[in-house]
Amino acid sequence: MAACEASVHRADLPSDVSARIGRPLSDLPTPSCVVDVHPMRSNIARIYTLYASTSGRIGIRWHLKTHKTWQATREMLRPAYVDEQGTNRRETVALAETCDDARGTDRAIVSTIAELQGLLTDGIVNDAKSSILSQVLYGLPLSPGRIPRLAAIRAEYKRAFGSAVEKENGTTKGKPTEVQILLDDVQQIEALEAFAKQQQPNADQPWQAFIKVDCGYRRAGVPFETNQLTNVLHKALASPAIHLVGFYTHAGHSYGSRSHSDASSMLSTEINAVSSAAKEAHSILRSSSSSASRHPNQSIEQAFTLSVGATPTFHAGRDSTSSVWNKILSSLPPSTSLELHAGNAPFLDLQQVATRLNDPDAISRCAVTVLSEIISVYPRRRPQVLSLSSEEASDQAEQSSEGHWDEALCDAAGTALSKDTGPFSGHGHVYYPKDLRGWKLDRISQEHGVLAIRDGQVEEWEREWGVDVQKERGKLIKGAPRAFKVGEKVRIVPQHACMVAAAHEFLYIVDSSDQSDGGTIADVWRPWKGW
């Protein structure tokens, strides 16, 4: 991480927080959210291998909802030059102008208006020298109450860019960042049209819009191949307030995948859904006797972006061969291009480890942990839940006496880790210190977290974490974990990193590739809060 980047915004941190930079991680108050940039950068690099393998024919659009920071945004849009193991090959070029071998993207998604404002405040969208972010999609289907705020932000983006161009004496390589919207209901378009009439004669240009298509998740979106979608398409294509630029879908149910095959099937479902919608849109445009009058902002062969993805399908796409992608790309409808979107892919968590799409050593790729302090230890309170070899049992005799194990109380619970669960039991797994691997956050209240030994055998624990135990048994977990000591601090990998990061005012940054092995606070990131 470039030190100069961090120093620009440290003035925005409270003095006691900025003073923690350079201090040992163990000095942090608990609970605290910790982000290790070493696996984060490695995960980003792995995603960009997909872009390289398809010669740039697949776009990448990052969702910023997990971290909500300008620092991680820059890392994702203009990544550090690292290999897939996370080894730095040269200095970070987060804001470098275009260069021949630069990898990156200029597309993003946000989940809140606060994130849109943060991108402006922290200088991501008002750089006249380079188009670091050309389009940012507001990721919830549009509600009428948000239209005035989004319109104001949109105008701010253009004013800020104009001011930046003036400072550069009128020279620019970029253009204003376009704020895009999602639609899935005719009434949303009617609300946009009513707002535009109110703004006359100062109404802005038509909104670039994606129609959100439901591919089976049943959270948001218009079901594809339905009359409801046909109605939305007719309204959007004919609206003077809309310039339809693409179709968007999200297979949230792909989190239930347990193999590459499962996730690949979900990816195919996503692509089929948006392709079907694009074909219908083109059919409507071609069937019109006078497209220019009936569809004022669309051409007959309108180019549409097909935006698909969830972190599991994102990884399935990353691991597919170039021949598979060539087949997929050749099957897309004419005048369409494909992009993949995801937000948690750089960070990961237990839910993602459970998909089996991040092996080997999937747990080691998780960048987000929560630092917590042990408050109390309760000897022999829990019935024994695993069998040990005689050697392991003798090493852990103080814990397994009378067939019971200890439990312990920590200060990270519902408000610090969320109450999300996943395929693996508990609300999180202890990962550091290494000799405490095997403990899980078993039960939580608001501020009380109860730690217990994971069910099953040690080999099962490693297998869950992505270790091939036939070849590398004991690679991550040497045996049953030792007992806790009151006052020691542990780091817990959460079930759902997005919910965890959203709960914390500051993200404490470490780098496990540095001399401290991630034991020193390298920076502090302050997420954009609110809605």
| CATH architecture classification, 55-82+103-161+175-347 | Alpha-Beta Barrel (3.20)
- Give the span between the Cα atoms of 427 and 494, in whole angstroms: 6
* Residue 154 in tokens: 């949109």
**Does a cis peptide bond (omega within 30 degrees of 0) precede residue 346?**
no
Look at the block and give the residue holding tokens 């404490």. 508
The torsion defined by the Cα of 469, 473, 477 and 479, in degrees rounded to 10, comes to 120
Look at the block and give the residue holding tokens 């061969």. 321
| Helix/strand/coil for 278 | helix
- Give the span between the Cα atoms of 310 and 498, in whole angstroms: 13
- Give the span between the Cα atoms of 260 and 253, in whole angstroms: 14
**Which residues belong to CATH 2.40.37.20 in the chain?**
352-383+403-525
pLDDT at 32 over 80: yes
The closest of 261, 278, 241 to 312, measured between CA atoms, is 261
Q: Which residue has the higher pLDDT, 257 or 251?
A: 251
With cut-offs at 50, 70 and 90, classify the pLDDT of residue 90: very low
- Give the span between the Cα atoms of 266 and 163, in whole angstroms: 44
Strand partners, 60: 340
Q: Which residue has the higher pLDDT, 196 or 261?
A: 196
| The pLDDT value given to residue 398 | 46
Asked if residue 80 lies in contact with residue 88, where contact means CB atoms within 8 angstroms, the answer is: yes
Look at the block and give the residue holding tokens 């019971």. 404
Q: Cα–Cα–Cα angle for 254, 255, 259, nearest 5°? A: 75
In the chain, count H helices and then E strands.
19, 18
Mean pLDDT of 205-227: 88
Strand partners, 36: 510
| The pLDDT value given to residue 128 | 46
| Helix/strand/coil for 453 | strand
With cut-offs at 50, 70 and 90, classify the pLDDT of residue 164: low
pLDDT digits (tens, 9 = 90+) for 93-117: 332 333 223 468 889 999 999 999 9
Strand partners, 428: 494
- The topology under which CATH files domain 352-383+403-525 is Lyase, Ornithine Decarboxylase; Chain A, domain 1 (2.40.37)
For the chain, give the mean pLDDT.
83
Strand partners, 369: 34
Crossing angle of helices 147-167 and 186-199, in 10° steps, is 60
What are the CA-CA distances from residue 138 to residues 107, 149, 218 (Å)? 11, 12, 19
What are the CA-CA distances from residue 196 to residues 156, 206, 210, 286, 294 (Å)? 17, 9, 18, 27, 18
**Which residues belong to CATH 3.20.20.10 in the chain?**
55-82+103-161+175-347
pLDDT digits (tens, 9 = 90+) for 306-360: 999 877 777 777 666 767 778 888 888 999 999 999 889 899 999 989 888 766 7
Asked if residue 377 lies in contact with residue 352, where contact means CB atoms within 8 angstroms, the answer is: no
With cut-offs at 50, 70 and 90, classify the pLDDT of residue 393: very low
Dihedral sign from CA coordinates of 462, 467, 471, 474: negative
pLDDT at 474 over 70: yes
| The pLDDT value given to residue 505 | 97
Strand partners, 492: 370, 430
The DSSP symbol for 82 reads B
Indicate the range of 242-251, 275-284, 401-410, 482-491 predicted with least confidence. Answer: 401-410
Dihedral sign from CA coordinates of 80, 86, 88, 89: negative
| The pLDDT value given to residue 172 | 55
| The pLDDT value given to residue 170 | 57
- Give the span between the Cα atoms of 11 and 19, in whole angstroms: 11
Q: What is the CA radius of gyration of the chain?
A: 25
Asked if residue 422 lies in contact with residue 354, where contact means CB atoms within 8 angstroms, the answer is: yes
Backbone phi, psi, residue 222, to 5°: -90, 125
- Give the span between the Cα atoms of 423 and 455, in whole angstroms: 13
Mean pLDDT of 432-445: 95
- Give the span between the Cα atoms of 490 and 148, in whole angstroms: 45
| The pLDDT value given to residue 63 | 95
pLDDT at 251 over 60: yes
423-432 burial: b if 16+ Cβ within 10 Å, else e: ebbbbbbbbb
**Does a cis peptide bond (omega within 30 degrees of 0) precede residue 31?**
yes
The DSSP secondary structure of 149-215, one letter per residue, reads HHHHHHHHHHHHHHHHHHHTTT--S--PPEEEEEE--HHHHHHHHHHHHHHTTS--SPEEEEEEEES
The one-letter code for the residue type at 292 is A
Mean pLDDT of 202-213: 87
Q: Which residue has the higher pLDDT, 56 or 351?
A: 351
What are the CA-CA distances from residue 81 to residues 37, 101, 263, 354 (Å)? 13, 10, 28, 28
Q: Which residue has the higher pLDDT, 169 or 99?
A: 169
